[in-house]
Structure 1
Amino acid sequence: MSNEQFDVVVIGGGPGGYVAAIRAAQLGMKVALVEKSELGGICLNWGCIPTKALLRSADIVRLIRHAADFGVRADVQGIDLDSVIGRSRKVAGQLQRGVTHLMKKNGVSVHKGHARLKGQGVVEVTGKDGVTSLIASNIILATGARPRQLPGLQPDGDTVWTYFEALRPSRLPTRLLIVGAGAIGIEFASFYETLGVEVTVVEMAERILPVEDEEVSAYVADALTRQGIRLRTGCRVRSKARTDDLWHVEFDGPDATAIDVDVILVAAGVVGNVEELGLENTKVRVDRNHIVAGDFGVTDEPGVFAIGDVAGAPCLAHKASHEGVACVEKIAGLDAHALDVNSVPACTYSHPQVASVGQTESQAKSSGRAVRIGKFPFSANGKAIAMGSTDGFVKVVFDSESGELLGAHMVGDEVTEMIQGYVVARQLETTEAELMASIVPHPTQSEAMHEAVLAAYDRALHI
């Protein structure tokens, strides 16, 4: 067994882990990164990136179907599923190679294998070439998460899927049941419905996208229903039985009508990868399948940190990356700033898209604040009308006394590319005065962001 000494050992090569490794290397530390599968983690290989590639194919199908609206004669001649999936995998592969290059460029020592904490700053890595001990005074756990399994709905790779199987199906099902109406479930609902699959989504909560603003959830629900997606909220799977080539599924809830489907996709959240890490050799605590960590990823074990999905919600790649940088800068003794969970933006790449940051209207009101609400529809935005993208709106929530921007919520085409404006505004502690005084270019969809702020103070110009 060989021993190697490092300043920082990062366990997990996803967007939290590899970014932490890069930042540590930039700060002059000797860094090792351990990854048992593919660099880039779930996000790059099986989540964020490949799903967006699939959804882009769906966007093109949708646009061609509406080509006549733009004076263009075009028809969808057919969908080559293998090519759609192939492009998605190619995109993921390209970015994975990019991460590999970044590790080499920054001098990060990459170790392929399974890592286990042995205590006293020792990480034992078991790989195909044997066992290596990595020794460091700082260990960052960034092992991510995996799909939550529901009793009786364990994935079989054929007719019960997680997002792994949904990303590379061998065939298009005729009828698909999606269990869970969070971002993952709704994105796959949009993709498969566009490709001609009959989709039903079941959600235990009273509304889809339950963490989003209620008006946004309602708008998306109406849009998806008009597209042909069947939504069952306040409902759960009571029983299922395989008959011939179908699943016969029965429900508890307001709509208890049974259905028959080819495939069931379980998209009911994730659980942290905390098993087989040797945590029993440390003081690290685990609560509900996630490592308990405070600011900067600090755990109960000195010198051991946890970031990203394994440290709990929100389980988002950009949150993990931000935590990784903050954690490493704290280790380096810099004047780092801890993550503000209320300033983490969230995006859902369905059709229509959803983007948000900060508090919803109901959250702001329940905190006892007096609020001002501003809304502006894309149907009154010149660029949106020209692009044929008039569905949706922008909504902002302000503290009526201080003018603090408490939250911002959008639904519509490409709003995921717009939300960053409000993220920066919140980071700079901007009030309504600065936002109203800002000049927004015309014609752009972002004008709706400015108009929503004006509307909160009864100054909207175009409605």
Structure 2
Amino acid sequence: MADTYDLVILGSGPGGYVAAIRASQLGLKVAIVERERLGGICLNWGCIPTKALLRTSEIYHYMQNAESYGLKADNVGFDLAKVVDRSRKVAGQLNAGVKGLMKKNKVTVVEGVGTVTAKGKLSVKQGDKTVELEAKNIIVATGARARDLPFAKADGKTIWTYRHAMVPTEMPTKLLVIGSGAIGVEFASFYNDMGADVTIVEMLPRILPVEDEEVSAFMDKALTKQGITLLTGTGLEGLAPSGSGVTAKIKHKDGKVVEETFSHAIVAIGIVPNTENIGLEALGVETDRGHIKTDGYGRTNVDGIWAIGDVTGAPWLAHKASHEGIIAVEKIAGGSPHQMDKANIPGCTYSRPQVASVGMTEAKAKEAGYELKVGKFPFIGNGKAIALGEAEGFVKTVFDAKTGELLGAHMVGAEVTELIQGYVVARQLETTEAELMETVFAHPTLSEMMHESVLGAYGRSIHY
């Protein structure tokens, strides 16, 4: 006989486990099905452990440049195994934390491979055993996986996905990063700071192509200055293991194809949604290029089947998945949540320097027909940034000239992934330039640049 629940969630990533907790808070009887580790890719193989690695490379960079702070640090080095071990321990600690949260919130955890067999029915294979579950509603939160190159699948030896790049057994000497989105740039930043010779290949005309053009241009100069080779408008026509490394056929802007050998390559060209073999086709759940189609509440076209997170499409971000999960659960419980507004989802890249943004780029706002007021303030004009030794970067704000609506905010520099939330809150509250101008920002802080950027959009900047 099947175990019966109000809600069963397939997948325990930041979408699934957050949805489970909120459902429990709302009085629903909940089960969550997970085939690997609680917390999903983000917690175990993505967001969190990569930040642990990047923190290590950041500190290593500071140690190598201690003299600029009046300090001495001789014979600086690192133990790669210990660097990786720290990252894995961080992931393990948080995995244990999610287990504790499931227990605290009385969420039943069912380990195994889940398949939706019919509306309201889910089968979980546990080795030779199968467990049957029934629920009024099922949320699919199965996430996504790294996309392979069609002509060169990752082997974990010299051709890596992000998972391989997080647990290296050897340090790359000459590294090729294919793709310059957030994942590609973060790994390029990490390995460059740890001493590898890094090249990024990007098909599009600029790196970090979803970001504001001025941010992309700044990052191009910053990464080049750090020693990273950037090949934009450049294609990859071949990649194959060669001796102890890999040989890449790189097609440059002029059409010339050049062969170059690297010790390792990281493929960071996007993701593939995990929608296969979980029973969706038989139920007639609509998809678009593999991603499940949903409305603003996470509902699919099949009654009682919901979907959240990476499996539903861009932006592929953990915080987007978590918020989608809460919206879906509150709707299931009979509430009246606001529909998902993707325009208010911040994007962050944790490279050195960091990049963060929310809302429209200046170009997109112009395309949409807005008359704009744009403010920009440099890190070099901020006392705290200079004191930190982090005087490179800027904050940019884009306003509707007619209404004062904050259309977008774009940042590059130290700690901007923390600063961006101020603008996210401002957009959520539908704040205009008037409220932002009248807000008092603490001194000395990096956040003062946010204020100055707003003031600058209206010709009132004080320090620039």
TM-score > 0.5 by shorter chain: yes
Once the two structures are overlaid, the 10-residue window that deviates more, 17-26 or 121-130, is 121-130
* CA distance in structure 1 between the partners assigned to 2:361 and 2:307 by the alignment: 28
Aligned to 1:215: 214
Aligned to 2:46: 47
TM-score by length of 1: 0.98
Shift of 1:35: 0.3
**Corresponding residue pairs, total:** 462
Q: Does 1:373 align with 2:374?
A: yes
Q: Does 1:408 align with 2:414?
A: no
- Contact in 2 for aligned 1:308/1:317 (Cα 8 Å): yes
- Contact in 2 for aligned 1:115/1:277 (Cα 8 Å): yes
Distance 1:30 1:396, change over 3 A: same
Aligned to 1:385: 386
* CA distance in structure 1 between the partners assigned to 2:239 and 2:7 by the alignment: 48
Aligned to 2:398: 397
Distance 1:284 1:76, change over 3 A: farther
* CA distance in structure 2 between the partners assigned to 1:243 and 1:378 by the alignment: 44
Aligned to 1:105: 104
Shift of 1:243: 3.2
Distance 1:305 1:76, change over 3 A: farther
Amino acid at match of 1:460: S
Shift of 1:77: 2.4
- Contact in 2 for aligned 1:54/1:191 (Cα 8 Å): yes
* CA distance in structure 2 between the partners assigned to 1:258 and 1:372 by the alignment: 47
Distance 1:312 1:263, change over 3 A: same
Shift of 1:241: 4.1
Aligned to 2:64: 65
- Does the residue aligned with 1:418 lie in a helix, a strand or coil? helix
- Does the residue aligned with 2:115 lie in a helix, a strand or coil? strand
- Contact in 1 for aligned 2:119/2:304 (Cα 8 Å): no
Aligned to 1:350: 351
Amino acid at match of 2:245: L
- Does the residue aligned with 1:337 lie in a helix, a strand or coil? coil
1:348-383 deviation per Cα after TM superposition (whole angstroms, max 9, x unaligned): 000000000000000000000100100000100000
Aligned to 1:248: 247
* CA distance in structure 1 between the partners assigned to 2:355 and 2:66 by the alignment: 24
TM-score by length of 2: 0.98
- Does the residue aligned with 2:276 lie in a helix, a strand or coil? coil
- Contact in 1 for aligned 2:285/2:302 (Cα 8 Å): yes
* CA distance in structure 1 between the partners assigned to 2:268 and 2:240 by the alignment: 19
Aligned to 1:291: 292
Aligned to 2:449: 448
* CA distance in structure 2 between the partners assigned to 1:242 and 1:169 by the alignment: 17
- Contact in 1 for aligned 2:245/2:261 (Cα 8 Å): yes
Shift of 1:76: 4.9
Q: Does 1:6 align with 2:5?
A: yes
Shift of 1:281: 2.5
Aligned to 2:95: 96
* CA distance in structure 1 between the partners assigned to 2:242 and 2:153 by the alignment: 17
* CA distance in structure 1 between the partners assigned to 2:8 and 2:74 by the alignment: 53
Shift of 1:78: 1.2
* CA distance in structure 1 between the partners assigned to 2:366 and 2:415 by the alignment: 28
* CA distance in structure 2 between the partners assigned to 1:135 and 1:241 by the alignment: 47
1:78-110 deviation per Cα after TM superposition (whole angstroms, max 9, x unaligned): 110000000000000000000000000000000
Gaps of 5+ in 2: none
Q: Does 1:83 align with 2:82?
A: yes
What is the root-mean-square deviation in Å for CA atoms of aligned residues? Answer: 1.0
* CA distance in structure 2 between the partners assigned to 1:320 and 1:158 by the alignment: 32
Aligned to 2:129: 130
* CA distance in structure 1 between the partners assigned to 2:326 and 2:196 by the alignment: 41
Shift of 1:384: 0.4
Aligned to 2:224: 225
Amino acid at match of 2:148: Q
Q: Does 1:309 align with 2:310?
A: yes
Aligned to 1:364: 365
* CA distance in structure 1 between the partners assigned to 2:242 and 2:35 by the alignment: 39
* CA distance in structure 2 between the partners assigned to 1:145 and 1:75 by the alignment: 44
Shift of 1:260: 1.0
In the TM superposition, 1:428-447 aligns within 5 A as 428-447=429-448
Shift of 1:183: 0.2
Q: Does 1:418 align with 2:423?
A: no
Gaps of 5+ in 1: none
Percent identical among aligned pairs is 56
Shift of 1:114: 0.6
Aligned to 1:274: 275
- Does the residue aligned with 1:178 lie in a helix, a strand or coil? strand
Aligned to 1:264: 265
Amino acid at match of 1:438: T
- Contact in 2 for aligned 1:61/1:76 (Cα 8 Å): no
Shift of 1:67: 1.0
1:300-336 deviation per Cα after TM superposition (whole angstroms, max 9, x unaligned): 1100001000000000000000000000001111120
Shift of 1:254: 1.2
